[in-house]
Amino acid sequence: MSGLEVRELEAFLVLAEELHFGRAGERLYVSQGRVSQLLRALEHRVGARLIERTSRKVALTPLGADFLADLQPAYAALRATVDGVRAAARGMEGVLRIGFQGSTSENLTDALALFARRFPHCGTEVIEIPLADPFGPVQRGEVDIAVVLLPMGESDLVLGQVFSEQPQMLAVHNEHPLAARASLSPEDLAEFALIGVRGPAPQYWRRAQSLDVTPGGRPVPVGPGVGTLREGIELVAAGQGAMLLCHPTAVYHDRPEVRFVPVTGLAHSRLGLVWHRNRETTRVRAFSRAVAAAG
């Protein structure tokens, strides 16, 4: 429907309420002659008279009355749709704070680019989340949405898209006897003191990021606990333990003293998009859709 047609319908609706060309023109901010012109154009499209006008009165024709009854709900629905889109557009203004753990994945980078193209008036701020506190920044409102390592079992958070499934690697000092292996099995992890995560992270989440026993039942020595990935890599470089990481994070933290050896037979790590159940906004939903589309 062109803009002119919408204006013709608006003129008819207002005129049907006022039954006076002058008052209709005042409401539409146009001249009385312009109202007459819009009405004639609409009647020409319809092919019949909708309003009878004489020197003494203005009245709807029977066809005009039927047309009005059909048009009013349709026009109200159209206005509601436009108002909804406008409200959504206003909700996309401002800044979306996005938290992430470790290194930004290719999926996240693509989602950020797509989001920027779709919503150029909404800025983004990317904030690194400590390894030891994956859910706290979202729960405290420090970020609006976050990309975190799974699992996620917090009742006050929503788990959105799950993506970036990656094989796990073991970060180990390059002088360790098994550092030269092309790959390791889960049973080989019993030969390493695995660095774990300390801090406020839930116990179920911390246990998922490390092993305390191999699938075959061999105990895995417990290494020191860390609060950030950087701390973990520093301990590995100092020969004080080994650490399980996903492949992109290993690539991101590459350094001469550390070898990253693939571990076959372990479940792949996965990232998930999370946000607070009570703070879901238009911006949050839009970024969630961008992540889904980028995947």
**Residue 83 maps to a domain:** yes
113 and 28: one domain?
A: no
Q: Is residue 16 part of a domain?
A: yes
Q: Which domain holds residue 70?
A: 6-89
**CA–CA gap between residue 58 and residue 17 (Å, rounded):** 11
Residue 92, pLDDT > 80, answer no
Range in 49-58, 130-139, 223-232, 261-270 the model is least confident about: 49-58
pLDDT of residue 229: 87
Q: Are residue 80 and residue 222 in the same domain, yes or no?
A: no
Q: Do 148 and 209 reside in the same domain of the chain?
A: no
Model's pTM, two decimal places?
A: 0.66
Structural domain contains residue 1: no
Q: Quote the Cα angle for 268-269-272, to 5°.
A: 135
Q: Is residue 132 part of a domain?
A: yes
Domain assignment present for 35: yes
Please indicate whether residue 207 or residue 84 has the higher confidence score (pLDDT).
207
Q: Is 80 exceeded by the pLDDT of residue 124?
A: yes
The amino acid at 194? L
The confidence score (pLDDT) of residue 80 equals 74
pLDDT digits (tens, 9 = 90+) for 146-161: 999 999 999 999 999 9
pLDDT band at 220 (very low <50, low <70, confident <90, very high): very high
**Mean pLDDT (whole number) for 203-210:** 89
- Contact yes or no for 268/168 (Cβ under 8 A): yes
Q: Domain holding 35: CATH number?
A: 1.10.10.10
Residues 101 and 127 in one domain: yes
- Same-domain status, 108 and 190: no
Q: In the 3-class helix/strand/coil scheme, how is the chain assigned residue by residue?
A: CCHHHHHHHHHHHHHHHHCCHHHHHHHHCCCHHHHHHHHHHHHHHHCCCCEEECCCCEEECHHHHHHHHHHHHHHHHHHHHHHHHHHHHHHCCEEEEEEECCCCCHHHHHHHHHHHHHCCCEEEEEEECCCCCCCHHHHCCCCCEEEEECCCCCCCEEEEEEEEEECEEEEEECCCCCCCCCCECHHHHHHCCEEEECCCCCHHHHHHCCCCECCCCCECCEEEEECCHHHHHHHHHCCCCEEEEEHHHHHHCCCCCEEEEEECCCCCEEEEEEEECCCCCHHHHHHHHHHHHHC
Answer yes or no: is 57 within a domain. Answer: yes
Do 125 and 216 share a domain, yes or no?
Answer: no
- For residues 204 and 231, state if they share a domain: yes
- Asked if residue 103 has pLDDT above 70, the reply is no
Q: Give yes or no: residues 151 and 279 share one domain.
A: yes
254 — pLDDT class (breaks 50, 70, 90) = confident
Q: pLDDT value at position 239?
A: 93
Answer yes or no: do 172 and 263 share one domain: yes
**Is cis: bond before 151, omega within 30 of 0?**
yes
Alpha-carbon distances of 143 from 63, 129, 136, 207, 284, rounded to whole Å: 58, 9, 9, 25, 11
Residue 132 is part of a domain; what is its CATH number?
A: 3.40.190.10
pLDDT of 84 above 80: no
Let me know if residue 286 belongs to a domain: yes
Query: Do 117 and 261 belong to one domain?
Result: no
Question: What percentage of the chain reaches a pLDDT higher than 90?
Answer: 49
Please tell me which residue, 84 or 188, carries the higher pLDDT value. 188
> Which pLDDT value is given to residue 1?
47
When mean pLDDT is compared across 2-16, 114-128, 223-237, 238-252, the lowest value belongs to 2-16
Q: Among 89, 105, 124, where does a domain finish?
A: 89
Task: Give domain status of residue 263, yes or no.
Answer: yes
Answer yes or no: is pLDDT of 3 > 70. Answer: no
Residue-level pLDDT at 86: 63
Which of 68, 89, 110 lies at the terminal end of a domain, its last residue? 89
Do 213 and 275 lie in one domain? The reply is no
Average pLDDT over residues 4-22: 87
pLDDT value at position 91? 60
**What is the domain count for the chain?**
3
Residues 195 and 150 reside in one and the same domain: no
